[in-house]
Chain A
Amino acid sequence: MSVDLSIKFAGIKFENPFTLAASPCTDNAEMVARAFDAGWAAAVLKTTSVEEEVVELVYPMMAGLDFEDKKVIGLQNIDLISERHIDQVEKDVRELKKAYPGKVVGASIMGQKKEHWQTLVRRLEAAGVDFIECSFSCPHGMPERGMGSTIGQDAELTERTARWVKEAATRVPVSIKVTPLVADLPHIACAVQKSGADAITAINTVKCLIGVDIDNFVPYPVVDGKSSYGGYSGAAIKPISLRCVAEIAKAVDMPISATGGITTWRDAVEFLLCGARNLQVCTAAMKHGFRIIEDLTDGLSVYLEDKGMSGVEELVGLALPNIVEHSHLSREYKPVSKINLETCVKCDVCYIACQDGGHQAITLDEKRLPHVDEEKCVGCAMCASVCPVFECIQMAPR
């Protein structure tokens, strides 16, 4: 049985949902060509600007967050938009569309004023781009010039700027890339919808300070003795981007391109279930290379096969009805912790978690085996969360 990974997003057919996000991965045609050869369905070329925009990058610009022995579970960058202006990017678009007519080539743009935005759109359309993404969302550097997340944090600015872009875009769909750094993302999403834009890309990086060199008192990445806030990406931000996608999907009826921490095929499934129709990847590809597309497409295919589903389309939004207001959650449901003493290794981390972070429901017997006092157990699931043994603690209905 073969499954269909293709999916339509903003009226464009993608051979699979996996798209390289606007990032260092997509800063020239040669890289994108290699990604296409590896199996990526689409790429959004790194954010470009009009020729007069001055882009001066600083180095080093990357700093990873390592957790225990895992490298780069999150990544901070203080990169800016591409140093390659529209004149070079329009060439890239032409070259890529000629060599890869079946692939989808998007381009990300940023401008300071109406004229910039509209020039970029017209030139990219003329070059044959498939869709345009507008960064209203870069959280570092660009906002200092009134660009990036400055726009995306203001519903009015968002709607007005998106309208300019839509005015100019006569042929291709426009997606607005939003920032998670707002109090009310659905409000911003509604502004995007009102503008007439075709889609939403969610989310850009999360403004962060990834760490400090504790010997020299300078945060990372250290640029000649100083640093700056940056944009946080990678697996660590997935829970935030997943929430954002679900919120947008519930607020507006627009196609969503999800991005922010998508690393494995499981992440992909989760974003589709929360309403995304397109999936953008950056940090995972920067870390492991374009080859991860094989894991993504294969894992997704096997999952669909297992579910007896014929294609990706079937997954979109299936989890949304199951996300409700907190006040609508059942107060009658009373789960209880069940510990499998056959597989328990007597590490007693469940005991510690229950004692100091729970309700003191777990006691130890003389053999150090944990037992749950069902009267005291409220079913919080902290014990099951920390247990290192595969499926040893399960939360079961009483």
Chain B
Amino acid sequence: MAARQTPDTLDMPVRLSTMEEVDRGLKPHQALAEAGRCIFCHDAPCVKGCPVGIDIPGFIRRISQRNMVGAARLIRQANPLGAVCARVCPSEAQCEKGCTSAGLSEPVAIACLQRYAMDQEMARGIRPVAAAEPTGRKVAVIGAGPAGLACSLALRSAGESVTVYDSSPQPGGVMRYGIPSYRLPREVLSREVDWILSAGVRFVPNTEIGRDVGMADLLREYDAVFIGAGLGAPAVPRIQGAGTAGVISAYAFLRAAGEPDGNAREQAMRAVIAQPLGRVVVLGGGNVAVDAACTALRLGAESVTIAYRRTRGEMPAWAEEIEFAEEEGVKLVFLLSPAEVLQADGKARGVRMTRMRLAEDDASGRPRPAPSGEPDETIGADTVVLAFGQAPNESILSSLPSLARSESGMIEIDVETGATSVAGVFAGGDAVNGGTTVVQAVSEGLRAAAGIRAYLDSVTPARD
């Protein structure tokens, strides 16, 4: 069997001087060759590995028959954010993990093929969503991230009237304000998001529920509410000196870095960090830490180090993301837990780190880091990026006190319907699952849309 095709990537060091997409995508002959590697097996395991259940052999067959538009439409049927997900899904751990072709050679490059189909479709314009008969029912969606957008489109294409509120000026949520553009170009995101909104979804920017509009008002005005608010609040670490100039949350850092053009980005960066990046230390071990590290390299950091309190094996970041960062020159140091940001003249100059060892497994099933008793270590740093994870946005969630939450603060739902403990209120995405993937958020948004429709049918039948 032919070898797996790999797309070109931007060469080093050019790729570190730009926020442009690193992965250049498959060329036409590569896409056909790769599609030819799919054996179209029965009951394909790839489909089961996909949270939204895209008909993967189906779209690959369409590619192999050069029906790119048909391929893209098939993907879109299952995933309205197919172009985004083709770029940001951990496909090695999802669809490609079960690929039958691995039994012959290597898995089919499913995500690359999906991207190819979606790019072809985008080049000719995405077919507008067919208008449905209006039902006369109104749904409010909180958060224009992947869960909220997926939910909105599914509801809208069924004829419901949908209004999406987001605290940010632009729709996209984590896709726009979290994922760096070298992984997800903003024009790809915008086209897909615009396509969703153009179905007749009303977008209300700069409006935070609980602050600008009361939750009670929403519940009164709408027949149902979907909460897809994500995790907008950086987890607050207990580190001395965390308020020092030069210390910044990964969330704020990536958000500023995500501005699309150079000038706007510089301005946004100056607003969150008033000095050159210099030596950057990123504290944390997840994908956000890795994204922040690679972004810092592109924005002129002298050096970038990720410091994680466990070891590489326990890093929540995906292996391929970690390899990508190392390839770019990010240094990784392990078994170091931040104790204090060191400063001079009110500016960060380094981080004092406690040396750790791996102890017994904790609740997450990973070895717990415990102080090793060795002397502390100091890492020089002019910028300290805190990437300890995100928490739900309390101003939204606390505006609905009767909302059942888990111990970790996540919204509890019925896994069949996405319904919360409050009648008529549904939820999905990171604020439910604690933060996983864009495609998982999409699937939860779609599930809730079905749940909402069933709920509306039970309380407010659609107008005939």
Binding site for B on A (CB under 8 A): 69-70, 264-266, 288-289, 291-292, 294-295, 298-299, 301-303, 306, 388-390
Q: With A69-B1, A302-B70, A389-B29 in contact, is A294–B58 under 8 Å at CB?
A: yes
Contact B27 A390 (CB under 8 A): yes
Instruction: Please tell me if B7 contacts chain A, counting CB pairs below 8 Å.
Output: no
B274 at the interface (CB under 8 A from A): no
Within 8 A of A (CB), among B28-61: 28-29, 36, 40, 42, 58, 61
B66 interface residue (CB < 8 Å to A): yes
Task: Looking at the assembled complex, report how far the CB atom of A378 sits from the nearest CB atom of chain B, in whole angstroms.
Answer: 27
B76 at the interface (CB under 8 A from A): no
- Min CB distance A300 to B, Å, is 9
Q: Which residues does chain B contribute within 8 Å of A301, judged by CB atoms? A: 70
Q: Is the CB of A302 within 8 A of B67?
A: yes
Q: Could you say which residues of chain A place their CB within 8 Å of the CB of B36?
A: 70
State whether the Cβ of B62 lies closer than 8 Å to any Cβ in chain A. Answer: yes
Please determine whether A288 and B40 come into contact, CB atoms closer than 8 angstroms.
yes
Please give, as numbers and ranges, the residues of chain B lying within 8 Å of A291 by CB-CB distance: 58
User: Given A265-B67, A288-B40, A298 and B29 touching (CB < 8 A)?
Assistant: no
Asked if B28 contacts A390 (CB within 8 A), the reply is yes
Q: How many A-B residue pairs have CB under 8 A?
A: 40
Q: Cβ of A299 and Cβ of B67 under 8 Å apart?
A: yes
Q: Which B positions have Cβ atoms within 8 angstroms of A?
A: 1-2, 27-29, 36, 40, 42, 58, 61-62, 65-67, 69-70, 73-74
Name 15 interchain pairs, CB-CB below 8 A, sorted by A: A69-B2, A266-B65, A289-B42, A294-B58, A295-B58, A295-B61, A295-B70, A298-B62, A298-B70, A299-B62, A299-B65, A302-B70, A388-B29, A389-B29, A390-B28
Main DSSP-derived SS at the A contact region = helix
Residues of B within 8 A of A69 (CB): 1-2
| Residues of chain A lying within 8 A (CB to CB) of residue B42 | 289
When distances are taken between beta carbons in the complex, the residues of chain B under 8 Å from A302 are 67, 69-70
Closest-CB distance, A85 to chain B (whole angstroms): 32
A264 contacts which of B27, B28, B65, B69 (Cβ < 8 Å)?
B65
A390, B69: Cα distance in complex, Å: 19
Most B-side CB within 10 Å, residue of A295, A303, A389, A390: A295
A288-B61, A289-B42 given; 6 more Cβ-contact pairs under 8 Å: A264-B65, A266-B65, A266-B66, A295-B70, A298-B62, A299-B62
Provide the bound-state CA to CA distance between A264 and B62, in Å. Answer: 9
**A303 CA to B62 CA in the complex, in Å?**
12
Residue pair B67, A295 in contact (C-beta under 8 Å): yes
- Chain B residue, CB-CB nearest to A263: B65
Task: Report how far A322 CA is from B74 CA in the complex, Å.
Answer: 35
Tell me if B27 and A295 are in contact (CB < 8 A): no
9 closest Cβ contacts across the A-B interface? A299-B67, A298-B70, A264-B65, A390-B29, A390-B28, A302-B69, A302-B70, A295-B61, A302-B67
The docked-state distance in angstroms from the alpha carbon of A24 to that of B19 is 57
